[in-house]
Structure formats: structure tokens, C-alpha cells
Structure 1
């Protein structure tokens, strides 16, 4: 297919790029990979049935990169596209880059440094910068405030997995570098349109080793009107409830400190208050033991019939 470059110091890392209707952004996204101070060992891009010319742009940008390979497919959704790209890739670690985001220039170098310093990790996530549709870094606004709240909660309670449930401070799959071992063990990204990233993080904390490097910016997350998360808030909330129920089922007391003390009660109560999904969570936790695997559970929870009924419950207002 193509040859690896001379191996960079540290583990091999493949960058996988799911592309969907982002012709406006894909060139800058790919350039942020090509400009890495410690290069990716391979780049796998899959166009997920786009109707614009983003794939043609991607091919031009990567034309002189022997370690890059591009594919097209009919639309299958982000989780399927990422899984297919990872299946094609060959490195020890995988870094996902969504086609509207950017890597910081030292992202891969920093991840290799952390693995060298701290030993093999299953997942690394760093700090997140926010940019607008035109690529301008944002110092204020809804997304910046959201990230600030997420860090405040984490700093206050020091419970990284519970803090993710409260507000996903990792923000996106673009902020994850993870081992092939973890992806294999997880069964890949699960069939969730909006929360496959949060589910994967929950699995990583429960079954792997996680390094949080939040004081160093690893990515720029682009906020624009076509962000997938903005499509259907009621469906997003159903998926969030399902993922939280799965985390409670799998991790249970490990979401909290070993003391199970007053601060744990305070943190847990604040999460439940913030999410406002108690009815849904109680139902999902009641039925979760009936399913052998979390993929089956997610399929049930997000089915059209059940989702319609649940969306009436959880819709704001």
C-alpha cells in the first residue's frame, strides 16, 4: 500500500481522518498533521459519502505524502468510519482527527514524550483550544465557558471519570491518542452518533491507563453551525443518558474516591443536578443487566421507538 517513513522516536502513531462534507476545513486539518514536529507514521483518510469536493481537496493535499492513503465509501456514520480507518492502519497507537479540527504542531511529539516518560498508556488526552468557523481562536463564548466549567469541576473534586460525565473536558475524538490494544478490547467505537467519544473514554478509564495532559494544548476544536452535536439536542441527551447508565453499570464505585465521603456525595449530586436526566438514568440502569454487551444496550436505548418516547421525557422545557 505504502511505506512507513523512518520511525520517529517513540511508538508508531497512525492518524485517521474521517471526512464528511468539510471541504472548507479539510486542507487545514491535513496540513496540521503534515506539519507535526514528530511525524505520523501513516495517515488514513476515509471520505464518508460526502456530497462536496472535500475528498478531491484531501487527495491534492496528500498527493506527495507516501505514508498517506485515502478511501471513499457510502455514508456509514462517524463511528463506523473511524473504526474502518483504524482497522486499515498498522501503528501501535492511533490519533483521530475530525476533518474540521486541527492538531497543535507538537501533539504527536508530546504524546510520544509522555509515553516515554510515564510508560505505555492506553489513552492520552490534552488541553483544548476553541476556534470559530474561520479558524480564529476564541477567548470567550459558549464553548469556552463550557470547557472552563468542565475544568473547574475536575479541579474541585479530582474525580476524572465522574468529571467527564459532568462535562466532557476531552471534548472530541480529535483529542484522543490511544493504543490499538485498547481499541481492540473495547470492540471499537460503539454505534452512537453523538457520544461514541464519551463511551470510549469511559471504557478507557475502566479498562486501561489514561494520561491527562490538560495544561498543554493538543488540539483546536472548531465550533460552527454544522457541528454534529448541534443536530438534535433531544437525541444527544438520550445518548448521554445511555452512556452515563453504562458507566454506572461498569464502573460504579470507581467513579468516586475510595472514601465515599461527603465530597463524593456532593460531586455526584452536582452531576445529577446538572444533567437533569434522573428518570432516564433510572430506567436505563434498570434494564441494562438484560443486555450481554454495551453495544446491544446502546442499540436498544437509541432505537427509533424507544428514543421517541424518551425524547419526550428529556427534552428541555
Structure 2
């Protein structure tokens, strides 16, 4: 193998933030990597940007294919990877300079570790910090933990053992937003350890706006993930489906607040969460009560304003 790490970057009409993303990769303190940019049928100047970088840094390669979706693009990169470990980054996210160094050290310290991730800092779509961070479980990760919540948040946060990927396969092309969560769950269900690093190593660009259809698509994707997991983790789905579904619906209710969607939509998701598993109030009181107060509070304030106008 020529490189320790292969980085797979899928790009589709990604010109707006692509240069910034690539620069964050090329600025890594750990230099022994190859960067494969998979152009998924872009019609803008994405390929021109990548070719310019390729001329300046021999660690980069451009692979072009017709548009087939992000999961297929990532799988193209996996097939062409030469590295011992495989990392992923989306075309609008950013890495901290020590990201690869930390993950390589983490993975090499434990041969049974299949997936390494870290904490994430959220930024606005125009790159401004939000002051909000992911706070996932980092050690003693079970399949139940990964089914209930995507600890890595984004594929840009994941570095996976090549051996693990060869055993479990790549991303499921039928999934879109939940493809990373399903792959991470599959890694764990095949006997690999999954652990996180207690440092912020990724800056994750959040959506510019939101539509209710996006949230319903996320729910649809999660339902398909559950169907996929039924094949290799039937006992997990049998025992944990209701609670995991409630946690997803609670998350979607919280997303209506972040995306400034209607208070009625937030109420619908929160009501369905409690209907799916009302004991979530006792199992996870802080998150559940805070989300409920925020969602119902917004609805109450909106109703009061409407009656006073």
C-alpha cells in the first residue's frame, strides 16, 4: 500500500466550498495520504477546481463518473483506495489540521477498532461558528447506541479500517442521508469496536434552510435503515425499535426549531415521539423535557401572538 490513509471526497456541483474543503485536507499534519475526489457528474466547474489542485499536489486524484448519488460515489472511492485506513469528507465540510494524525494513532493503538470518530463543531452554511458541538458517547459503544443515534454525525467525521470495510462492504446505495449511520451500525454488528476521540476534529456545515419534506425524507431513510438492519441485527430491531424511533422523532422535532419551521410540525413530531415510547421522558429526561418545552413553548407563543394580532 502506497499510503496510510485514503481520503474519499464525493463532489457534485460542489464549486462553492470545494477549495476550502480541499485546503483543510492538504493542511493535515499527517502527510501520508491520498485524496480521491469522485466527481459525480458535475455540470459546474468542480472538475476545473480539482484539476488545478492535482497539478499542485501529487497526492490528489480526480475520478469522474456519471451522476449516481453520493453513496455510489463514496463506494467508487473505496474500490480505488490504497490506504490502510479510509476517511471520508463531504465537499462543504472542514477538518482540523490534526484530524488524521489523531485517528491514525487511535486506530493503530487497537487492531480491533473498526471505526474511529471525534466530536463535531457545527457552523452555519456561510462558515460562521454556532458555538454548538456534538456530545456523543465515545467509549463502550454498543450496536444499540449506534441504532439510536449516529454518534459520528457525518461521514466527514469517520475514519474506518480498510479491513473492516472489506468485510462489511461499503455504503448502501439505496440510502441517502442514513447511509453513513447504517454503515457504522453494520461495522459494529460484524464484531468491530467503535470508539470516539474527545476532541473537535470536524467543522460541519449545517443546512442553509429547511423544508418539512427534508425531515420526512430523514424519517423515511431511517425506516429503510431499520429494514436493512433487520437482516443482520434482528434482535436489536425487535427490542429497540420503539425507543430508537422515538429518539429519531424527538430529534426531528428539535430540527424544526433549528430550521425555523412551523411550530405545528414540531408538535406533530414530538407527539409521535411520545406516542412511540412515552417512557423516553424517564429514560432520557433532560433531552426529552427540554425538547418538549421548546417545541410546545414555541407553539404556545405563536398561538398567543396570533390571537393578539
TM-score normalized with structure 2 length: 0.71
Instruction: Go from structure 1 to structure 2 and tell me whether the alpha carbon gap of 1:167 and 1:74 turns closer, same or farther (over 3 Å shift).
Output: same
Structure with more relative contact order (C-alpha pairs < 8 Å, separation 6 or more) = 1
Greater Rg by CA:
2
2:221 to 207, 232, 239: 239
Q: Map 1:178-257 onto structure 2 (within 5 A).
A: 178-191=160-173, 192-225=175-208, 232-253=214-235
Instruction: Go from structure 1 to structure 2 and tell me whether the alpha carbon gap of 1:269 and 1:255 turns closer, same or farther (over 3 Å shift).
Output: closer
Does 2:20 align with 1:37?
A: no
Mapped to 1, the partners of 2:165 and 2:11 lie a distance apart of 20
Root-mean-square deviation over aligned CA pairs: 3.1
Does 2:121 align with 1:139?
A: no
Mapped to 2, the partners of 1:254 and 1:269 lie a distance apart of 11
Whether the aligned pair in 2 keeps the contact of 1:126 and 1:215 (CA below 8 Å) is yes
Look up the match of 2:82.
90
Mapped to 2, the partners of 1:237 and 1:206 lie a distance apart of 22
Look up the match of 2:65.
73
Mapped to 2, the partners of 1:40 and 1:240 lie a distance apart of 36
Mapped to 1, the partners of 2:106 and 2:117 lie a distance apart of 11
- The CA deviation string for residues 57-93 of structure 1, in whole angstroms up to 9 with x for no partner, is 1222232111211122211101110111111121111
Whether the aligned pair in 1 keeps the contact of 2:125 and 2:205 (CA below 8 Å) is yes
Structure 1, unmatched stretches of 5+, are 257-264, 278-314
Instruction: Go from structure 1 to structure 2 and tell me whether the alpha carbon gap of 1:80 and 1:272 turns closer, same or farther (over 3 Å shift).
Output: closer
Mapped to 2, the partners of 1:78 and 1:40 lie a distance apart of 25
Look up the match of 1:292.
none
Mapped to 1, the partners of 2:27 and 2:213 lie a distance apart of 32
Whether the aligned pair in 1 keeps the contact of 2:119 and 2:199 (CA below 8 Å) is yes
